[in-house]
Amino acid sequence: MIIAIYSRGVTREQKPALDQLIGCLQKYPSKIWLFNALTEQYPSLKSIENVGVFGGYKDLPNDTKVLISLGGDGTILDAVTIVRNKNIPILGINLGRLGFLTGANSNEIEKAVNALFHDTYIVDNRSLLHIEGSREIFGDIPFGLNDFAILKQDIAPMINIHTYLNGELLNTYWSDGLIVATPTGSTAYNLSCYGPLVFPHTSSFVITPIAPHQLNVRPIVIPDDSVISFEVESRSNTFICSLDARREIVRKEVQIAVRKENFKVGIIRLEDASFLTTLRSKLDWGVDKRN
């Protein structure tokens, strides 16, 4: 069985968690594939028995059972661009702060590894966004798990974003920007801009304006089989497009459309976890801090 481990980088303080993870995996018949940034950071990892090294999507073995992401939510967003359409689920182990997407905390590593090898875990298949433009943007990774945003540049005043659903005008947003979020991404930038929380398996997208000039404009939930297209007016010649953690500067004459990607990505959670337990633990719902 092949288990891959990805991380943006592991600090000296976090290294014991990586060592514990590798030690737990070695108790089972498995081959461990490590992201090359880890072996460059800690060359001694190359000497571990049954260890392979990968650098990205192309050299990640197709028969990998699980990719373990060590870090926070941003690390999982990176991991999505590595597994892509290979149908390899991602288990996030939280070494960061909030960790909405992570399936286990650093003190649950042994429990998580045991679940992997005894098949006592749940895979949630999450929908993705796909971005198309009248010119290519985001290269060969035009998809994201969380959200897509159109943003004004820092020096520009607010922009006008003409927004269409399946070719019909929805609204023109006079604002600092606009977010299109998946249900997964509803707990991210969308939440910070007062958008609604959406259950992960809901077949929907959320459109949320950023600092709209019209007081009667509010976020809206739409079916995820919609095609959302945009035309941007700005005093500046360019605006910013953001897709998860990636950004591009785009000229205002470029037309953009967003639709659901034709594949999904599996996110692993342990059997005793659920979206509601995550909300309660991460957002302190139900906690009375007056006492």
Tell me the catalytic residues: 73
Q: How would you class 227 by CB atoms within 10 Å of its CB: exposed for 0-12, middle for 13-18, buried for 19 or more?
A: middle
Ramachandran area for residue 167 (φ above 0: left; ψ -120 to 50: alpha; else beta):
left
Question: With the CA atoms of 94, 99, 103 and 109 taken in that order, what torsion angle do they form, in degrees rounded to the nearest 10?
Answer: 20
d(C-alpha 290, C-alpha 28), whole Å:
47
CA 163 from centre of chain: 24
Rg (C-alpha) for the chain, rounded Å, is 20
SS3 140: coil
